[in-house]
Amino acid sequence: MNFNYNAYIYSNTGYDSHFHSNYELIYVFEGEMQVFVNAREFILRGGNTLLISPFAVHSFKVPADTRAWVGVFSKDFVADFASKNGHRQFSSFTLPQEQVGLLKTQLFFEGKPEHYSCKAFLYLVCAECKKQAKVISSENKGFRDAVISTISREFQNDISLKELAENLGYEYHYFSSLFHKCFNMDYKKFINLFRFERACKLLETENQAITEIYTLCGFSSLRNFNRVFKEMSGITPLEYKRNLPQ
């Protein structure tokens, strides 16, 4: 129960393929943006909303003439919804106009709302998602879930793509091809995303030295840890820890 949350309003920016264990919610104020989730394209226009499930591989691009709110939050905020829907991916949907005005003042802004308000309005959006959006079937879902489940347990170890294939009972070349099709990234980045997310949580919640944290996350060296962390966040682990709210 860590209640991770951050939200920003984006324009003229984008993110390459990535994933995390949190939900990601997008609301487009104006304009049009392109989002890919598990290799499926979504075109979101002003008023459209999209809820991206945990561990879904996604990327997006927000043009200069578009403004979009993007909130990333842990499952704790909507625990009941998360327990009933797992990693289901939903289609985009449009919130009722009577809710939009309220949400713009209570949720769709940069920064974090008051804790219980945040939970209440995230549940409101999730309720509309269940009511309006369709569940989208994901190609190779069993394969995707098996890989994520295994790496969730093994990312601290030095497990190669070949060892992962053998672990899951696949011929290596077929597994490699299917892996890149499902996750649209190389294996090193894939496993480093798990390590990075774990490192963030340890930096936020544990009073441990950075020299201890990198080994707990499976990084081969402090230098490698600093390089990967900065590539993924734009800052070093030490800067990240210093910027945490007191």
Q: Where are the alpha helices (DSSP H) in the chain?
A: 79-85, 97-106, 115-132, 141-154, 161-168, 172-183, 187-205, 210-216, 222-233, 237-242
Cα–Cα distance for residue pair 226/43, rounded to 1 Å: 36
**Structural domain of residue 166, as residue ranges?**
139-184
Checking if the pLDDT of 1 tops 60, the result is no
230: CATH: 1.10.10.60
- How confident is residue 246, by pLDDT bands cut at 50, 70 and 90? low
Please tell me whether residues 178 and 196 are part of one structural domain.
no
Please tell me whether residues 85 and 99 are part of one structural domain.
yes
pTM value is 0.86
Confidence (pLDDT) at 243: 79
Closest CA to 54 of 77, 88, 79, 83: 88
Please tell me whether residues 148 and 198 are part of one structural domain.
no
- How confident is residue 204, by pLDDT bands cut at 50, 70 and 90? confident
Could you give the 3-state DSSP secondary structure of residue 118?
helix
Please tell me whether residues 148 and 90 are part of one structural domain.
no
Residue 30: how many other CB atoms lie within 10 Å: 12
- How confident is residue 134, by pLDDT bands cut at 50, 70 and 90? very high
Please tell me whether residues 157 and 199 are part of one structural domain.
no
pLDDT digits (tens, 9 = 90+) for 172-199: 999 999 999 888 899 999 999 999 999 9
pLDDT digits (tens, 9 = 90+) for 69-119: 999 999 999 999 999 998 889 999 999 999 999 999 999 999 999 999 999
Confidence (pLDDT) at 244: 76
Q: Which two tokens stand for residue 37?
A: 């989730």
Task: With beta carbons less than 8 A apart as the criterion, state whether 37 and 58 touch.
Answer: yes
Q: Average pLDDT of 25-54?
A: 96
Checking if the pLDDT of 242 tops 90, the result is no
Checking if the pLDDT of 140 tops 90, the result is no
Please give the tally of structural domains in the chain.
3
